[in-house]
Structure 1
Amino acid sequence: MNDKMTLPTGYPTASSQLPASMQVNGEKGATGATNTGATSGTGAHAGPRISSRRLREIQTHLSARDLAILASVDRYRFLTARHLQALHFTQHASATSASRTCRRVLARLRTLRVLGILDRRIGGIRAGSEGLVYYMDTAGDRLQRDVTSSRARKRFDEPSARFLDHTLAIADMAIGIFENATTYGAEVVKLDPEHTATRTYADSYGVAQVLRPDLYVELAAAAGDEEVSAFFIEVDLGHESLPTLLGKCMAYEDYRSTGIEQHQYGGFPRVIWAMDAYRETTAQRRRKSLQDSLERNSRLSAGLYRIQALKDTAAAVVQGLRHD
């Protein structure tokens, strides 16, 4: 399956293409309407309303890094302190110094109501301060809407645990790809989460359809390479049934049959299933079941798909660039 494509003449450099949230000290903003996927009933942002005058005062206190942090949270919906440290606090003498500065900056952004934190924490290796989950609070949402005037005001609702797990796993994947690219000398040309990776097309009956990959990634084996490899990445945490996963594969087949992606970019991206579950034995069984089903289904092109353990996917995708 050919997932290679060549950048056309005049294509922007990798640094300019890299989303603001994936730049180490990003100066660019990233906006766009988002769907929180949240459960309803918990209400809007807490606290009193912010006047336009107060919003302007807040804006004057925000540095380029503050705005890049806000753009990252907007882009990925929810991020932890660990995510934000990996994205925006990499130029410090030590990890301890980076963590301390990150905590201080995030605390200030919370005080300004640029960022808020969810009522729940996440446990395990991300417990404590890194277990806090950040979202755009009232001031942050208004500042981002000022950047993109077409975006409607967004009501905030506390997300379900399942949605939050999936959203944070996607952020983990994005940061893992970025970090592995840095380690192995590859270049992240483009990295879009779901709401910017969405494809729309008409099926064989002329009915409008929407394909929503969890991530769309373009990678070059070395900085400056014109040839890039493209991937759609689906993160599965064991919540969906096998028929649901196969249905998503069929959506990719339908989209591929339109030729839209091939015409625009010269090839169709490889589809990566990054799969995990609460128990490793369950995850292994699900990965094997999906692979077997792909090979048995004559309507699916098994070679289009790769199935990986979630924890291995970022490294496998980046390291595989030189072997594809």
Structure 2
Amino acid sequence: MNEENKKRRSKNELKLIAKKLDEREMEILEHLHKVKFATSDQLRRVFFTENKNETASLRACNRTTKRMKELGIIDHLDQQIGGKRGGSSGKIWTFSASGYNLLKLGNTKLKAGRKRLYEPTSILFLEHMLAINEIYTKLLELDQQKKIELLETQHEPRCWRTFSERGISFYLKPDLFASLVPAHEREFETVYFLEIDRATEAPIKVIKKCKQYINYFNSGIEQRQNGVFPFVVWITPNEKRCEQLTRYIHENLPKAEMLFRVITIKEFDTLIRGMKKQQEDK
């Protein structure tokens, strides 16, 4: 990371930087604050869609991120998706301390300023965060394409839920919450708790997380607040993992199978665009 981007800037300096940003650059900064990490390709797919040529769109994205980096409000990690041959689309961007403090100028709800750039605690953590953002990016793309109407998303920690059992408080920590309306059913809202599985954990840990969802379902909190309990969707990287988790859920939680869906990432678009019957049956 660029050492220059770690310098602390005064409020007046931040105000001058803010005046230099256009609407899209400000949206990118807010987006990075929400998702923490995003590749250049993910940013391109969300913010540079006016040009149908992907190469031209990526060049425009690269010009913008370079300018924002020079202003000291974002920076890219040393790691790249795809290694050195991953190219500019594989750069991983995050917001800097100055970027965070710039956002604070117009948002008093943000906590005290960061002393350094947002840095991943491990490669596995980074890969998981990027996988979550890939799903979020797909949701935004479907919304842009008018295939769904994306009503709300909640990232960590807003998507986390609390409940208690026998006087003990517990946290349920989904990766992402989404509320949307499929294009073919304008009056039908569908809600999801999304779990992005990287096939890095033993299936028994997935079952343990599923049991937390069952306990939260039994608490009735979500149903009282929102009228329905969200679908819990496990998104797996391949068919083998999908079949493995499906089998484990069937064998270990046969009475709660209807609460969960296990799919591959390739099936995500199809699932999101139409689940009316399952929602009514739930």
Q: TM-score, normalized by length of structure 2?
A: 0.88
Q: Distance in 2 between matches of 1:54 and 1:289?
A: 54
Shift in alpha-carbon separation, 1:201–1:191, aligned structure 2, 3 A: same
Range that drifts further, 224-233 or 160-169: 224-233
Q: Distance in 2 between matches of 1:138 and 1:80?
A: 19
Q: 1:179 aligns with which of 141, 149, 161?
A: 141
Aligned-pair CA distance for 1:173: 0.8
Q: Distance in 2 between matches of 1:125 and 1:247?
A: 38
Q: Secondary structure at the match of 2:189?
A: strand
Range that drifts further, 182-191 or 96-105: 182-191
Q: 2:262 aligns with which of 307, 311, 318?
A: 307
Aligned-pair CA distance for 1:207: 1.4
Confirm whether residue 168 of structure 1 aligns to residue 123 of structure 2. no
Shift in alpha-carbon separation, 1:321–1:187, aligned structure 2, 3 A: farther
Q: Distance in 1 between matches of 2:275 and 2:225?
A: 21
| Structure 1: gaps spanning 5 or more residues | 1-41
Q: Distance in 1 between matches of 2:229 and 2:10?
A: 48
Q: Secondary structure at the match of 1:261?
A: helix
Confirm whether residue 245 of structure 1 aligns to residue 206 of structure 2. yes
Q: Secondary structure at the match of 1:108?
A: helix
Letter in 2 for 1:269: P
Deviations 1:120-169 (A, max 9, x none): 11117981111110011122011123323441333445311101111111
Q: Secondary structure at the match of 1:179?
A: helix
Q: Match for residue 252 of structure 2? A: 297
Deviations 1:209-253 (A, max 9, x none): 111111111121238934201111100111111121111101111
TM alignment of 1:19-34, pairs within 5 A: none
Q: Distance in 2 between matches of 1:125 and 1:309?
A: 28
| Residue pair 2:5, 2:72 contacting (<8 A) in 1 also | no
Identity %: 29
| Residue pair 2:5, 2:69 contacting (<8 A) in 1 also | no
Shift in alpha-carbon separation, 1:171–1:157, aligned structure 2, 3 A: closer
Q: Tell me how many residue pairs correspond in the alignment.
A: 274
Letter in 1 for 2:111: R
Deviations 1:41-96 (A, max 9, x none): x9x98543212221111111011111110011000000011111111112236333
Q: Distance in 1 between matches of 2:77 and 2:197?
A: 23
Q: Distance in 2 between matches of 1:45 and 1:166?
A: 28
Q: 1:220 aligns with which of 168, 173, 181?
A: 181
Shift in alpha-carbon separation, 1:131–1:138, aligned structure 2, 3 A: same
| Residue pair 2:192, 2:233 contacting (<8 A) in 1 also | yes
Confirm whether residue 320 of structure 1 aligns to residue 274 of structure 2. yes
Letter in 2 for 1:48: K
Letter in 1 for 2:71: L
